[in-house]
Amino acid sequence: MTMGRRLIEDDSDGDGETVQTGVRNRRHSSENHPTDYNIPVTSIDEDMEPAFNVNHRSKEASQYESLDYDVCENVLWRRDQTKIEPKFTVKKDFSRWVISLQIGVFTALVACCINIVIEEVSRVKYGFLKRQVDVNVIRGDLSIPYLWWSLLNLGPVVIGATLVAYVEPVAAGSGIPQVKCYLNGVKVPRIVRIKTLAVKAVGVATSVIGGLAGGKEGPMIHSGAVIAAGISQGKSTTFRRDLKILKHFRDDHEKRDFVVSGAAAGVAAAFGAPIGGTLFSLEEAASFWNQSLIWRTFFASIISSFTLNIILSAYHGLSSFRYRGLFNLGEFAPLPFEYFELPIFMLMGVFGGCTGAVWNALNSRLNKFRSHAIKPRWAKVLEAAFVAVLGATFACIMAYTINDCKPLGNDPTEHPVQLFCQDNEYNAAAALWFQTPEATVKALFHDPPGSHKILTLAVFVIIYYPLSCITYGLSVSLGIFIPTLLIGAAWGRLTASFMVLAFPASSAFVAPGKYALIGAAAQLGGVVRMTLSLSVIILETTGNIGFILPIMLTLMCAKWCGDYFNEGIYDTQIKSSRVPMLPWHVEPEYQQLSARHIMARPVVCVRVEEKVQYLLDILKNTTHNGFPVIEDGDDGSRVNGRLIGLILRSQLVVILKRSFYQESSRFWESTVSIEAFREEYPRYPAVDELHVNEDKCSGDFSVNMSMFMNPSPYSVEEGTSVPRLFQLFRALGLRHLMVVSSENRVRGIITRKDFLKHH
Q: DSSP letters along 642-701, please?
A: EEEEEEEHHHHHHHHHTT--GGGHHHHTTT--THHHHTT-SSPPPGGG----HHHHHSS-
Higher pLDDT, 647 or 70: 647
pLDDT of residue 418: 83
pLDDT at 4 over 50: no
Higher pLDDT, 37 or 310: 310
pLDDT of residue 163: 96
Least confident range of 241-245, 301-305, 515-519, 649-653: 241-245
Least confident range of 82-96, 402-416, 514-528: 402-416
Under the banding of pLDDT at 50, 70 and 90, the label for residue 423 is confident
**Rounded distance, CA 483 to CA 481, Å?**
6
pLDDT at 110 over 90: yes
Q: Which residues pair with 594 in a beta bridge?
A: 721
The answer to whether 538 touches 551, Cβ cutoff 8 Å, is yes
Nearest to 19 by CA among 742, 624, 635, 429: 624
> Looking at residues 227-241, what average pLDDT do you find?
84
Least confident range of 206-220, 277-291, 611-625, 705-719: 277-291
User: Going from the N-terminus, what domains does the chain have, and what CATH number goes with each?
Assistant: 340-577 (1.10.3080.10), 588-751 (3.10.580.10)
The answer to whether 402 touches 453, Cβ cutoff 8 Å, is yes
**Rounded distance, CA 490 to CA 461, Å?**
6
Least confident range of 110-114, 133-137, 205-209: 133-137
Q: pLDDT tens digit string along 527-582?
A: 998 878 888 888 888 877 878 899 999 999 999 999 999 999 999 999 888 888 88
**Which residues, at least 6 apart from 161, have a Cβ–Cβ distance to it below 8 Å?**
203, 380, 381, 384, 385, 474, 475, 476
pTM: 0.86
pLDDT of residue 58: 40
Q: What is the mean pLDDT of the chain?
A: 85
pLDDT of residue 285: 58
DSSP code at position 165: I
Q: pLDDT tens digit string along 65-106?
A: 888 888 899 999 999 999 888 888 899 999 999 999 999 999
> Looking at residues 670-678, what average pLDDT do you find?
90
pLDDT of residue 411: 55
Other beta carbons less than 10 A from residue 28's beta carbon: 7
